């Protein structure tokens, strides 16, 4: 039989391990997002978090992760390092609703109107799935690779290069202004 001292030491080690692995986080609309994530060996910080509603319904909470806080929208778009846009859904949406919403969003952006950007937009849209409450869509720019679409809300897609990633982040930050626009 193990003594009280040995049990206490094991319990203390467990508590310390749990505390060491606990990152700071923010909560909004019932969604918990960590203050920092690690991507390609770099730490990205949660720069902005917002709840999106349609009429009276909370649809999703989105967060933008960047290595550093930019001084402007242009800086956020042009940054050469990794960045990630996370959408955490607060309600279920079928695939047709997801596709319609993204097509509408992408069609409002002048940067998305060239044949190449429309082709890439369609690749992103075709990767989408219906979502259940709690599902996520991750849109991640990976330097030298391109834009990775992942999470439960997508079948997965990789769109090469930085041009489409820049256009998508420009469209997002235009529709959701959080920085000075220069």
Q: What is the pLDDT of residue 12?
A: 40
Q: Is residue 76 part of a domain?
A: yes
Q: What is the per-residue pLDDT across 96-144, written as a single tens digit (0 to 9) for each?
A: 999 999 999 999 888 899 999 999 999 999 999 999 999 999 999 999 9
Q: Is residue 4 part of a domain?
A: no
Q: What is the pLDDT of residue 157?
A: 97
Q: Is residue 13 part of a domain?
A: no
What's the whole-number mean pLDDT along residues 9-20?
43
127 contact partners, CB below 8 Å, separation of at least 6: 149, 154, 155, 156, 157
CATH number of the domain to which 136 belongs = 3.50.70.10
Q: Is residue 8 part of a domain?
A: no
Q: Is residue 109 part of a domain?
A: yes
Q: Is residue 11 part of a domain?
A: no
For residues 139 and 62, what is the distance between their CA atoms, to the nearest angstrom? 11
More confident residue, 164 or 7: 164
What's the whole-number mean pLDDT along residues 42-50?
96
**Which is nearest to 176 in space by CA: 39, 43, 50, 34?**
50
- Which residue segment(s) compose the domain that 66 sits in? 25-175
Q: Is residue 83 part of a domain?
A: yes
Q: Is residue 14 part of a domain?
A: no
What pTM does this model have? 0.84
Assess whether pLDDT exceeds 70 at residue 177: yes
Flag the least confident range among 16-20, 114-118, 176-180. Answer: 16-20
Using an 8 Å Cβ cutoff, are 157 and 127 in contact?
yes
Counted domains in the chain: 1
């Amino acid at each position: 039989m193990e003594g009280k001292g040995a049990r206490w030491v094991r319990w203390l080690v467990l508590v310390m391990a749990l505390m060491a692995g606990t990152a700071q986080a923010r909560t909004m609309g019932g969604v918990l997002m960590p203050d920092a994530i690690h991507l390609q060996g770099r730490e990205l910080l949660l720069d902005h978090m917002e709840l999106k509603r349609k009429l009276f319904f909370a649809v999703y909470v989105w967060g933008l992760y960047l290595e550093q806080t930019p001084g402007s929208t242009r800086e956020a778009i042009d940054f050469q390092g990794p960045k990630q846009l996370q959408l955490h859904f607060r309600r279920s949406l079928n695939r047709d609703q997801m596709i319609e919403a993204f097509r509408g969003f992408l069609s409002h952006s002048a940067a998305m109107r060239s044949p190449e950007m429309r082709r890439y937009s369609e690749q992103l849209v075709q990767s989408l799935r219906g979502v259940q409450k709690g599902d996520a869509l991750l849109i991640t720019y990976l330097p030298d690779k391109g834009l990775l679409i992942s999470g439960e809300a997508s079948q997965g897609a990789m769109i090469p290069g930085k041009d489409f990633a820049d256009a998508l982040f420009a469209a997002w930050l235009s529709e959701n202004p959080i920085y000075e626009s220069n």
